[in-house]
């Protein structure tokens, strides 16, 4: 899987102004290699890379409509910078 494919899979889940965690979103995220921790104000998406685990806090209710898309970019940029391209 490439970074572009990862972004394409994450965008439909995180693009909404409120990050809604339902069974479908959990299944897609787990298939992409993310674990989900639940908090009061944030969810934590944990991605286990080759070198280390990456923990991304995602707000339960985003402050603006671009918040989810910005989070997709942060996740993709961080993983690409640390891990390189994701080939499975």
Dump pLDDT digits (tens) for 22-75. Answer: 888 889 899 999 999 988 888 899 999 888 899 999 887 777 778 888 889 999
Please give the Cα distance from 17 to 64 (Å, whole number).
Answer: 6
Parallel, antiparallel or unpaired: strands 42-48 and 34-38? antiparallel
pLDDT tier for residue 19 given thresholds of 50, 70 and 90: low
DSSP assigned state of 3: H
Please give the residue that has the higher pLDDT: either 88 or 75.
75
- CB distance 32 to 20 below 8 Å: no
Chain length of the chain: 88
Three-class SS state of 38: strand
């Amino acid at each position: 899987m490439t970074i572009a494919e990862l972004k394409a899979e994450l965008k439909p889940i995180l693009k909404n102004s409120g990050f809604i965690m339902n069974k479908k979103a959990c299944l897609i995220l787990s298939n992409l290699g993310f674990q989900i921790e639940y908090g009061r104000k944030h969810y934590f998406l944990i991605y286990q890379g080759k070198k280390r685990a990456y923990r991304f806090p995602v707000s339960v209710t985003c402050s603006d409509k671009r918040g989810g898309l910005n989070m997709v970019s942060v996740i993709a940029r961080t993983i690409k910078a640390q891990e390189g391209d994701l080939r499975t």
